[in-house]
Chains A and B, each alone.
Chain A
Amino acid sequence: MSRLYAEDLQISYGEQDIVKDLNISIPDGKITTIIGPNGCGKSTVLKTLSRILNPKSGVVYLDGKAVSKESTKKIAQKMAILPQSPDSPEGLTVGELVSYGRFPYQKGFGKLTKKDFEVIDWALDVTGVREFKDRSVDALSGGQRQRVWIAMALAQETDIILLDEPTTYLDLSHQLEVLELLYQLNRDEKRTIVMVIHDLNHAARFAHHMVAMKDGSIMKEGTADEVMTRTVLRNVFHIDAEIGVDPRTRKPVCLTYDLIKNVKLVENLA
């Protein structure tokens, strides 16, 4: 059994049910990407897995224990979550923000120990933001800022890292930079990474395990080759996709696609 999994999740915002009867298991030491159309509930699932959102029913388990029953600080030592484009507080320096990643380990007034400083420096180094340490976070570019937030999540020293659309609003090279960083963290340190991601080709390229969601349920999960198929994309996104093989990575890529007309009609018939 994996360390992080959820059983029979029902999640709703107010009256509206977003996710119904969902079971998901996150493979340890792997990169999992979750794809799906807007409003399919993928961010909701990620938030529930990270106990930011409480499910209406169902249980999320981490290391065999329900996350709702365990101390939230203890969980924060095992699992970090980076929400979608968090607001950067004005005037806080990069070093200060990243140092708050040590919060789960601190007691009382939270004086930083030598160990804390070492971890913070490591997080700043590995994300390549050390040179901005004394700069204000809001003065950085979008890509730099995203790396700073990732550094804060890394400073939590968790085996599991969840990220909600970590590449949104970034340009092509910055997107790849962030994904490469996560890839290295997984390869070199065996960290479990789960991310919601919009770009299908990125999702396929970096995933060991891919989850395709639609209307609050999982339509298909498996390797990129199993999920990035014409049939799955047709069902999940209502697109007619041409799938090829990336000549460099040997992973499946969506070369081009068209919208499928009359989908509504088919759905109504069903």
Chain B
Amino acid sequence: MFKTKTKLIKENKVYSRPAVGTAILLLGFALLFLSIILAISVGAAKIQFLTVWNAVINYDPTREADRIIMSLRLPRELGAAIVGAAFAVSGAIMQGMTRNPLADPGLLGLNAGASLALACVFAFHTEANYLTVMILSFIGAGIGAMLVFGLGSMSRGGLTPIRITLAGAAVSALLSSLGEGIALYFKLSQDLAFWTAGGVSGTNWAQLKIIVPVVLVGIMVAVMFSRQLTILSFGEEVARGLGQRTLYTKIVLMTVVLILAGAAVSLVGAIAFVGLMVPHIVRFLVGTDYRWIIPCSAIFGSVLMVLADTFARTVNAPYETPVGAVVAMIGVPFFLYLARKGGRKRS
């Protein structure tokens, strides 16, 4: 009796993977911390690691290095981290909900919708403060998503992954061209291009004060619903059979996606591929249980964006390379690899 009991307890560990998951999470945190320090210390003015640390815990505005760190580099890196987490988590949620491994806020019309909203803000409401910009981005992302899901479910047979992807491509193209049209007509192309190409440069504390809590709350809700998301990823019928209120779950998760994607786009513009890549990398490490995928995606999304942004700003210094381009450089081959892998599995 005793023997079977200990055996039972030992075997219980594999049902979820807390050991691996926790290790990966801790490793992720360490990596994030290191990459932020690295990101702050490299740049036009080289700053020692120790100085960075000092500036954060013991800020002295009379020192130039401290001023650079606290007013330019730290907010920028925090911005990169929060945006990366937001994109990655919203990508992970979308992949689970649509059961489509290629889902990504960029591929499903959300980013394009938010960018269109951004163009409208620049055109019609130039005095808008950051909070307004962010809220309009949510709305834009929402419109994009509604169009994609509406178009996708209109035809007979309902919402299949391939339909969602096709509708996403079409809606993204439409909304982006509308955005560009508005930009051209109002001679805003440069402003918009600056916004999207500029990435997280120029992120300030005022913006962070709004976006950080929003994104953190979004991620927290996502973590709370991660078990529900795993069940949803088994398919609607299995989920309902297990007693999930699927409609309610989907509405909550979709709202989280809109908020995260909208917030991220409002800060850096549409950056594709983060939401696509990070959950896949994380899945490779911790398996398909969203209880681990969501928190790990948040951390590794941050790491990816911080490193990509650092690379973007140092590779061709003093000129900034658009961070979106850097991410796309890694993202496109990754996307092709996934598409190939997915195609082979089905055949």
Contact = CB atoms under 8 A, between A and B. Distances in A.
Interface of A: 14, 47, 50-52, 71-77, 80-83, 86-87, 89-93, 95-97, 99-101, 103-104, 109-110, 112, 117-118, 120-121, 133-134, 153, 156
Interface of B: 8, 11-12, 14-16, 99, 156, 224, 227, 230-231, 233-238, 240-245, 283, 287-289
A123 to B, nearest CB: 12
A119 to B, nearest CB: 12
A92 B287 contact: yes
A104 B14 contact: no
A96 B15 contact: yes
B318 to A, nearest CB: 44
B288 A90 contact: yes
Given A83-B237, A117-B8, A118-B8, A100 B288 contact: no
Given A93-B287, A103-B231, A117-B15, 20 more contacts: A14-B156, A52-B236, A81-B241, A83-B237, A89-B233, A91-B283, A91-B287, A92-B287, A92-B289, A93-B14, A95-B14, A97-B234, A103-B243, A103-B244, A104-B242, A109-B227, A110-B227, A112-B15, A118-B8, A156-B242
A83 B235 contact: yes
A89 B241 contact: no
A67 B31 CA distance: 50
20 contacts: A71-B243, A72-B240, A72-B244, A77-B243, A82-B241, A86-B237, A86-B238, A87-B99, A89-B234, A90-B283, A90-B288, A92-B288, A95-B14, A96-B287, A103-B231, A104-B242, A104-B243, A117-B8, A117-B12, A118-B8
A265 B237 CA distance: 39
A158 B16 CA distance: 23
Nearest to B9: A117
A50 B240 CA distance: 9
Contacts of B245: 72
Contact of A120 (B15, B224, B233, B235): B15
Contact of B288 (A91, A110, A121): A91
Contacts of B14: 93, 95-96, 133-134
A96 B235 CA distance: 16
Contacts of B11: 121, 133
Contacts of A50: 241
B36 to A, nearest CB: 29
Nearest to B283: A91
Given A93-B14, A118-B8, A52 B234 contact: no
**Which of A71, A77, A95 neighbours the largest number of chain B CB atoms within 10 Å of its CB?**
A95
Nearest to A164: B237
B237 A52 contact: yes
B155 to A, nearest CB: 12
A76 B241 CA distance: 6
A118 B4 CA distance: 11
Nearest to A87: B235
A131 to B, nearest CB: 12
A117 B7 CA distance: 12
Given A92-B287, A100-B230, A110-B227, A83 B238 contact: yes
**Which of A74, A82, A110, A118 neighbours the largest number of chain B CB atoms within 10 Å of its CB?**
A110
**Which of A82, A118, A121 neighbours the largest number of chain B CB atoms within 10 Å of its CB?**
A121
Contact of A73 (B227, B233, B243): B243
Contacts of B12: 112, 117
A121 B16 contact: no
A73 B287 CA distance: 26
A47 B15 contact: no
